Amino acid sequence: MKKMIAKNPVEFKMKANNLYAFCTCGHSDKHPLCDGSHKVDAPECKSHKVMAEEDKSVWICQCSESKNSPFCDGAHKEC
């Protein structure tokens, strides 16, 4: 089962040509990155892998309500 970490999103700086596995379940101790905890705590979830094409900042959902997980879509404003 997904878990809320915080209401507001967190900024994450991605570096070009790096592959990131973002947590979508909220159970990772390395949030916003996946640490494999979903295999036990939320087996219906899996990480969302993103290859960064350029250096950029993204906003990562922490409320577990985003329809564009792992990225924030503003759903926390309705929480």
Given the rule CB under 6 A, which residues bind ligand FES?
23-25, 27-28, 34-38, 45, 47
Count the neighbouring beta carbons within 10 Å of the beta carbon of residue 61. 28
Closer Cβ to ligand FES, 40 or 54, answer by number:
40
Question: Given the DSSP bridges, would you call strands 19-22 and 48-51 parallel, antiparallel or unpaired?
Answer: antiparallel
Q: Cβ 42 to ligand FES, closest distance in Å?
A: 6
Q: What is the rounded end-to-end Cα distance, in angstroms, of the chain? A: 18
Q: Cβ 44 to ligand FES, closest distance in Å?
A: 10
Closer Cβ to ligand FES, 32 or 76, answer by number:
32
Closer Cβ to ligand FES, 23 or 60, answer by number:
23
Measured distance CA(35)–CA(63) in Å, rounded: 18
Residues 44, 68, 52, 35, CA torsion sign: negative
Q: Cβ 32 to ligand FES, closest distance in Å?
A: 9
